């Protein structure tokens, strides 16, 4: 009886050793798999922003600010203008620039670019100055500023961005936005010309009446 006990003990020890080896192997495989997955995820997460230069980030930010400013000015015009043509133009600005801003935001999210949520100091000052006007003075100022001047500035920015942008997605966005900005600029020039002519005519009539 005493001779059989060592054999039994040896068998139990061997079984325990095998179980320990199996558990260790499974744990090691799990940890290795986890590290591999996390390492792959990190590489994928970093690849979205690694190719975006500071110049490209500025392009995206400037595009967002330009669209935000046009939307703000358009809303002000909708509330203050009494001219149907001006209000119609303002509504188009709201609609088109809202769509464009959404595209910019989606692109910024994929590229890891944080966009401003409000107008910067310069654009805010221009918006406040415009909002302080009323009547024909407002219409003329809105068409001159948000219509002609700002779209000329945006057109120039897009032209430069087309040549300077390195990221292909940013280049594609700039290409898509350019025709719409050109259309806005041409319409603004035409409408601004009409509003100036009406203002000059009105002024001349008033003077002749005096």
pLDDT digits (tens, 9 = 90+) for 75-85: 999 999 999 99
For residue 1, what pLDDT is reported?
Answer: 46
For residue 197, what pLDDT is reported?
Answer: 73
Whether pLDDT at 14 is above 70: no
Three-state DSSP at 112 gives: coil
For residue 34, what pLDDT is reported?
Answer: 40
Whether pLDDT at 157 is above 50: yes
Neighbours of 94 (CB within 10 A): 18
The DSSP-derived string for 51-94 is: T--HHHHHHHHHHHHHHHHHHHHHHHHHHH---HHHHHHHHHHH
Residue 97 lies in a domain: yes
Q: And the tokens for 98?
A: 């809202």
Residue 147 lies in a domain: yes
Residue 26 lies in a domain: no
Residue 146 lies in a domain: yes
Tokens 């590290």, residue located: 35
| Residue 205 banded pLDDT, cuts 50, 70, 90 | very low
Mean pLDDT of all residues belonging to the chain:
80
Q: And the tokens for 44?
A: 């994928």
**Higher pLDDT pick, 60 / 51:** 60
Residue 73 lies in a domain: yes
**Higher pLDDT pick, 37 / 121:** 121
Structural domain harbouring 99: 51-202
**Torsion, Cα of 205, 208, 209, 210 (10° steps):** 130
Residue 29 lies in a domain: no
Whether pLDDT at 131 is above 90: yes
Tokens 């008033």, residue located: 206
For residue 199, what pLDDT is reported?
Answer: 61
Q: Tell me, what DSSP letter sits at residue 31?
A: H
- Give the CATH number of the domain where residue 197 resides: 1.20.1260.10
Residue (of 160, 144, 156) closest to 181 by Cα position: 156
Average pLDDT over residues 103-108: 98
Residue (of 69, 177, 50) closest to 116 by Cα position: 69
Residue 165 lies in a domain: yes
Q: And the tokens for 77?
A: 């015009």
Instruction: List the single range of 26-30, 99-103, 128-132, 202-206 with lowest mean pLDDT.
Output: 202-206
End-to-end CA distance of the chain: 136
pLDDT digits (tens, 9 = 90+) for 178-201: 999 999 999 999 999 887 776 644
How many distinct structural domains can be found in the chain? 1
Q: What angle do CA 126, 127, 129 make, to 5 degrees?
A: 65
Whether pLDDT at 4 is above 50: no
């Amino acid at each position: 009886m005493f001779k059989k006990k060592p054999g039994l003990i040896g068998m139990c020890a061997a079984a325990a050793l095998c179980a320990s080896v199996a558990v260790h192997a499974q744990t090691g495989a799990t940890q290795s798999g986890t590290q591999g997955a996390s390492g792959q995820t990190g590489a994928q997460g970093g690849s979205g922003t690694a190719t975006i230069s500071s110049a490209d980030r500025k392009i995206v930010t400037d595009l967002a600010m330009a669209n935000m400013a046009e939307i703000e000015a358009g809303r002000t015009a909708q509330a203050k203008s009494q001219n149907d043509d001006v209000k119609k133009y303002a509504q188009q600005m709201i609609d088109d620039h809202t769509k464009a801003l959404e595209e910019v935001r989606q692109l910024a999210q994929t590229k890891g670019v944080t966009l401003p949520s409000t107008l910067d100091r310069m654009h805010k000052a221009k918006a406040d100055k415009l909002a302080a006007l009323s009547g024909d003075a407002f219409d003329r100022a809105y068409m001159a500023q948000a219509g002609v001047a700002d779209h000329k500035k945006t057109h120039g920015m897009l032209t430069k961005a087309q040549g300077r942008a390195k990221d292909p997605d940013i280049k594609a966005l700039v290409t898509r936005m350019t025709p719409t900005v050109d259309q806005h600029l041409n319409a603004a020039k035409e409408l601004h010309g009409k509003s100036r002519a009406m203002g000059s005519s009105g002024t001349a009539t008033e003077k002749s009446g005096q």
